[in-house]
Amino acid sequence: MSKAKGSAGRCPTSNKWHVMDRLLSIATLILGITASSISCTRATPSHPDKTEAKVDSNNRVTTMKMKISIGARAFAATLYDNPTVAKLKAMLPLTLDMTDLNGNEKYFHFSTNLPTDASNPGTISTGDLMLWQANSLVLFYKTFPTSYSYTKIGRIENPSGLSAAVGSGNVKVTFELESNQP
Protein backbone atom coordinates (compact mmCIF):
# COMPACT_ATOMS: atom_id res chain seq x y z
CA MET A 1 0.00 0.00 0.00
CA SER A 2 1.55 3.29 -1.03
CA LYS A 3 0.85 6.58 0.72
CA ALA A 4 0.00 9.68 -1.25
CA LYS A 5 2.68 12.36 -1.31
CA GLY A 6 2.26 14.86 1.56
CA SER A 7 -0.24 12.83 3.58
CA ALA A 8 2.24 10.76 5.60
CA GLY A 9 0.90 10.14 9.10
CA ARG A 10 -2.25 12.28 8.78
CA CYS A 11 -5.76 11.05 9.22
CA PRO A 12 -8.18 12.95 6.95
CA THR A 13 -10.98 12.82 9.54
CA SER A 14 -8.70 14.13 12.30
CA ASN A 15 -7.59 17.02 10.05
CA LYS A 16 -11.24 18.06 9.44
CA TRP A 17 -11.93 18.19 13.20
CA HIS A 18 -8.76 20.23 13.74
CA VAL A 19 -9.90 22.79 11.14
CA MET A 20 -13.42 22.90 12.62
CA ASP A 21 -11.98 23.43 16.09
CA ARG A 22 -9.83 26.32 14.79
CA LEU A 23 -12.81 27.94 13.02
CA LEU A 24 -14.94 27.66 16.16
CA SER A 25 -12.17 29.29 18.22
CA ILE A 26 -11.86 32.15 15.72
CA ALA A 27 -15.65 32.67 15.61
CA THR A 28 -15.80 32.79 19.43
CA LEU A 29 -12.98 35.33 19.52
CA ILE A 30 -14.67 37.56 16.91
CA LEU A 31 -18.00 37.39 18.77
CA GLY A 32 -16.29 38.37 22.02
CA ILE A 33 -14.52 41.34 20.44
CA THR A 34 -17.72 42.52 18.74
CA ALA A 35 -19.74 42.32 21.97
CA SER A 36 -17.05 44.22 23.85
CA SER A 37 -16.89 46.89 21.14
CA ILE A 38 -20.66 47.42 21.14
CA SER A 39 -20.82 47.87 24.90
CA CYS A 40 -18.00 50.43 24.77
CA THR A 41 -19.57 52.58 22.03
CA ARG A 42 -22.90 52.82 23.82
CA ALA A 43 -21.44 54.12 27.06
CA THR A 44 -22.50 57.63 28.01
CA PRO A 45 -19.64 59.77 29.22
CA SER A 46 -19.86 61.04 32.78
CA HIS A 47 -20.25 64.76 33.34
CA PRO A 48 -18.83 66.46 36.41
CA ASP A 49 -21.79 68.89 36.62
CA LYS A 50 -24.19 65.92 36.77
CA THR A 51 -26.37 67.47 34.06
CA GLU A 52 -28.56 64.77 32.57
CA ALA A 53 -26.97 63.77 29.28
CA LYS A 54 -28.86 62.45 26.29
CA VAL A 55 -27.27 60.84 23.25
CA ASP A 56 -28.69 61.61 19.80
CA SER A 57 -28.82 59.21 16.86
CA ASN A 58 -25.31 60.26 15.83
CA ASN A 59 -23.92 59.50 19.34
CA ARG A 60 -23.41 63.21 20.05
CA VAL A 61 -24.00 64.15 23.68
CA THR A 62 -26.72 66.74 24.08
CA THR A 63 -26.78 68.52 27.44
CA MET A 64 -27.16 72.21 26.61
CA LYS A 65 -30.61 73.65 27.14
CA MET A 66 -32.22 76.62 25.46
CA LYS A 67 -35.37 78.58 26.25
CA ILE A 68 -37.43 79.59 23.22
CA SER A 69 -40.05 82.25 23.99
CA ILE A 70 -42.93 83.06 21.64
CA GLY A 71 -45.35 85.61 23.08
CA ALA A 72 -46.45 84.33 26.50
CA ARG A 73 -45.31 80.73 25.76
CA ALA A 74 -41.88 79.35 26.64
CA PHE A 75 -40.49 76.08 25.27
CA ALA A 76 -37.45 74.16 26.54
CA ALA A 77 -35.11 72.85 23.85
CA THR A 78 -32.14 70.51 24.00
CA LEU A 79 -29.19 71.56 21.83
CA TYR A 80 -26.80 69.27 19.99
CA ASP A 81 -23.08 69.42 20.64
CA ASN A 82 -21.59 70.70 17.38
CA PRO A 83 -19.71 73.74 15.98
CA THR A 84 -22.95 75.33 14.72
CA VAL A 85 -24.43 75.33 18.22
CA ALA A 86 -21.17 76.68 19.68
CA LYS A 87 -21.29 79.69 17.34
CA LEU A 88 -25.04 80.21 17.88
CA LYS A 89 -24.59 79.96 21.65
CA ALA A 90 -22.04 82.81 21.51
CA MET A 91 -24.66 85.00 19.80
CA LEU A 92 -27.35 84.48 22.47
CA PRO A 93 -29.64 85.92 23.65
CA LEU A 94 -31.37 86.76 20.37
CA THR A 95 -34.83 88.12 19.63
CA LEU A 96 -35.61 87.53 15.96
CA ASP A 97 -38.46 88.51 13.65
CA MET A 98 -39.03 85.14 12.00
CA THR A 99 -40.78 84.80 8.65
CA ASP A 100 -43.34 82.08 7.93
CA LEU A 101 -42.66 79.74 5.02
CA ASN A 102 -44.93 77.03 3.59
CA GLY A 103 -47.17 76.96 6.65
CA ASN A 104 -44.73 74.64 8.47
CA GLU A 105 -41.66 76.66 9.46
CA LYS A 106 -40.40 80.02 10.69
CA TYR A 107 -36.99 81.21 9.51
CA PHE A 108 -34.50 84.01 10.00
CA HIS A 109 -31.52 84.85 7.76
CA PHE A 110 -28.38 85.83 9.71
CA SER A 111 -25.99 88.35 8.14
CA THR A 112 -23.07 86.02 8.92
CA ASN A 113 -22.54 82.34 8.21
CA LEU A 114 -22.44 79.62 10.82
CA PRO A 115 -20.49 76.33 10.51
CA THR A 116 -22.44 73.60 8.73
CA ASP A 117 -22.62 69.82 8.69
CA ALA A 118 -25.77 69.38 6.64
CA SER A 119 -27.54 66.11 5.98
CA ASN A 120 -31.01 65.11 4.89
CA PRO A 121 -33.08 64.09 7.92
CA GLY A 122 -35.75 62.47 5.71
CA THR A 123 -38.52 63.73 7.99
CA ILE A 124 -38.78 67.06 9.75
CA SER A 125 -40.48 66.83 13.15
CA THR A 126 -42.46 69.47 14.97
CA GLY A 127 -40.04 71.28 17.26
CA ASP A 128 -36.88 70.72 15.21
CA LEU A 129 -34.46 73.67 15.21
CA MET A 130 -32.07 73.55 12.25
CA LEU A 131 -29.80 75.61 10.05
CA TRP A 132 -30.52 75.68 6.33
CA GLN A 133 -27.49 76.44 4.16
CA ALA A 134 -25.09 78.48 6.31
CA ASN A 135 -27.19 81.36 7.57
CA SER A 136 -30.89 80.50 7.91
CA LEU A 137 -32.15 79.51 11.35
CA VAL A 138 -35.34 77.45 10.95
CA LEU A 139 -37.88 76.49 13.62
CA PHE A 140 -40.28 73.82 12.35
CA TYR A 141 -43.82 73.70 13.73
CA LYS A 142 -45.19 70.83 11.65
CA THR A 143 -43.97 67.32 10.77
CA PHE A 144 -43.40 66.49 7.09
CA PRO A 145 -41.01 64.64 4.76
CA THR A 146 -38.19 66.64 3.19
CA SER A 147 -35.62 66.32 0.44
CA TYR A 148 -33.57 69.27 1.77
CA SER A 149 -30.42 69.04 3.88
CA TYR A 150 -30.03 70.84 7.20
CA THR A 151 -27.53 71.16 10.03
CA LYS A 152 -29.13 70.02 13.28
CA ILE A 153 -29.12 72.57 16.09
CA GLY A 154 -31.61 71.23 18.60
CA ARG A 155 -35.12 70.14 19.35
CA ILE A 156 -37.98 71.43 21.50
CA GLU A 157 -38.55 68.81 24.18
CA ASN A 158 -42.35 69.11 24.28
CA PRO A 159 -43.59 70.85 21.12
CA SER A 160 -47.31 70.62 21.96
CA GLY A 161 -48.80 74.06 21.46
CA LEU A 162 -45.91 75.24 19.27
CA SER A 163 -48.03 75.58 16.14
CA ALA A 164 -50.62 77.70 17.97
CA ALA A 165 -47.88 79.84 19.58
CA VAL A 166 -46.16 80.73 16.29
CA GLY A 167 -49.43 81.28 14.41
CA SER A 168 -49.79 81.59 10.66
CA GLY A 169 -47.78 84.74 9.98
CA ASN A 170 -44.44 86.21 10.92
CA VAL A 171 -43.56 86.09 14.62
CA LYS A 172 -41.03 87.45 17.12
CA VAL A 173 -39.08 84.62 18.82
CA THR A 174 -36.52 84.92 21.63
CA PHE A 175 -33.73 82.36 21.96
CA GLU A 176 -31.67 82.24 25.15
CA LEU A 177 -29.69 79.72 27.15
CA GLU A 178 -31.40 78.44 30.26
CA SER A 179 -30.10 80.27 33.30
CA ASN A 180 -27.98 77.33 34.55
CA GLN A 181 -25.94 77.08 31.33
CA PRO A 182 -22.34 78.35 31.02
Give pLDDT tens digits for 163-175: 999 999 999 999 9
pTM (predicted TM-score): 0.67
Residue 111 has pLDDT above 80, yes or no: yes
Residue 22 has pLDDT above 70, yes or no: no
Residue 56: the pLDDT is 54
Residue 47 has pLDDT above 70, yes or no: no
Mean pLDDT for the stretch of residues 146-151: 98
Beta partners for residue 175, in sequence order: 68, 94
Give the CA radius of gyration of the chain.
27
User: What is the rounded CA–CA span in Å between residue 81 and residue 77?
Assistant: 13
Beta partners for residue 128, in sequence order: 155
Residue 43: the pLDDT is 34
Residue 179: the pLDDT is 72
- Count CB neighbours of 106 within 10 A: 23
Cis-peptide, bond into residue 83, ω within 30° of zero:
no
- Count CB neighbours of 61 within 10 A: 15
Which fold, 55-177?
Answer: Cyclophilin (2.40.100)
Are the C-beta atoms of 129 and 159 separated by less than 8 Å? Answer: no
Are the C-beta atoms of 132 and 107 separated by less than 8 Å? Answer: yes
Listed in sequence order, the residues at least 6 apart from 154 whose beta carbon sits closer than 8 Å to its beta carbon are 62, 64, 66, 77, 78, 79, 80, 85, 129
Mean pLDDT for the stretch of residues 29-49: 41
Residue 121 has pLDDT above 90, yes or no: yes
Taken as a whole, the chain contains a residue count of: 182
- Count CB neighbours of 174 within 10 A: 15
Residue 147 has pLDDT above 70, yes or no: yes
